[in-house]
Amino acid sequence: MPAPPITSRLVSIAWCILVPFGVLATYLGLGLAVIPMVGEPVMGTAVLGGLVALLVGAARLFRPRWFAHAPAVRPVAGTPHFTRTVLGCLVLAFLAGQSLALWLYTLGGSAGFDESTRARADVGPVVALLLALVAGPVAEEMLFRGLLYPLLRRRVGIVAAVLITATGFSLLHANVVQFAATLPLAVLLALVYERSRVLWPSVLLHLAFNLAAVLVPAQLLGALANPVSALLMTAAFLGCALAVYRMAAPGPVPAQDGQEGGRESEPQAA
C-alpha cells in the first residue's frame, strides 16, 4: 500500500536534507584526516580527490543498483543536437559565472578567494594544474554527479536534485566568488548526467570549464564585471539550461497494446 502523500513528501524533504549532509560531512571528514597527513592544503586536496574517486568509482562499479533511478537512460536519438546545445550552454555558464563572480569581487573582495589564489600560487603551476584539470574534475564529478545526484533522484524530481546538488557543489568552494562562478556549471553538469547517466561527459565539461578559467585572463572578462552583464549572461544561461532540461527530462512513454499512451514515465516530486 503506497504511503499517504503527506508522508511521502515529508520523507522526500528529510531525504533532501540528510543525504547531502551525509555526503558532504563524509567528504569533509575525510579531508580532515587526509590533508593534515599530506601537510600541504592543495596537494592534500588532490590526494583527497583521488581517494574520493576511488571509493565512489568502486561503489558505482560493484553496486550499480545503489545509483539507479527511474526512468531508464533515454534513447540516443537527438544526441548531436543535445551535444551542440550543451556546448553552447557551457560557454554561457562560463560567461555568466565569471561575470557574476567578478562583479561580486569588485563590490567587496573575498578573503576566501584571495587565500585560495595564494595557496595555488604557492604550490606552483604543476600541482595547481593537476588539481584544476585532473583531480578536481574527476573527484568532484564522482562526489556530486556520481554519488549525491543519483541518490537524490531516487526520491525527488530533476529540479530539486539539480538545485540541491548545484548548491552543495558551489558551497564546497567556500567563498562567494567561486560559489557564483561555479553555480551555473553545476546546474548544467547535473542536467547532462540526467541525460547520459555516465560521468565522462560531465568530467570533460568540467575540465573544459576549468581550463578556460586558467587560460582566459581576468582582464579580458573585466568588461563583464557589472550587474547588467551579470544579469544578461545569467538570463541567457537560464534559457539555454531550460532547453537542456527539456532534452534531459523524462518524456511520455510510448503507447503499449491495451494501454493508454502519453503517460509520463515517472511522477515528479518537488
CA distance 168 to 133: 20
pLDDT digits 0-9 by tens, 246-266? 998 876 544 444 444 443 444
Q: Pull the grid cell for residue 31.
A: 579531508
Count of H-run helices and E-run strands, the chain: 11, 0
pLDDT digits 0-9 by tens, 22-47? 999 999 999 999 989 988 887 888 88
Least confident range from 112-116, 146-150, 213-217, 261-265: namely 261-265
Percent of the chain with pLDDT over 70: 89
pLDDT at site 234: 95
Residues near 51 by beta carbon (within 8 Å), at least 6 away in sequence:
30, 34
CA distance 11 to 152: 12
Residues near 96 by beta carbon (within 8 Å), at least 6 away in sequence:
184, 230, 233, 234, 236, 237
CA distance 86 to 93: 10
The total number of residues shown for the chain amounts to 270
The pLDDT confidence band at residue 70, using thresholds 50, 70 and 90, is confident
CA distance 123 to 136: 16
Question: Higher confidence at residue 18 or residue 225?
Answer: 18
pLDDT digits 0-9 by tens, 80-106? 889 999 999 999 999 999 999 999 988
CA distance 58 to 52: 10
| DSSP string for 214-265 | HHS-GGGGGGG-SHHHHHHHHHHHHHHHHHHHHHHS--BPPP-TTS-S--BS
Whether residue 270 has pLDDT greater than 90: no
Angle among Cα 151, 165, 36 to the nearest 5 degrees reads 95
CA distance 185 to 129: 19
Contact 206, 141 (CB under 8 A): yes
pLDDT at site 76: 56
| DSSP string for 106-154 | HHH--HHHHHHHHHHHHH-HHHHHHIIIIIHHHHHIIIIIIIIHHHHHT
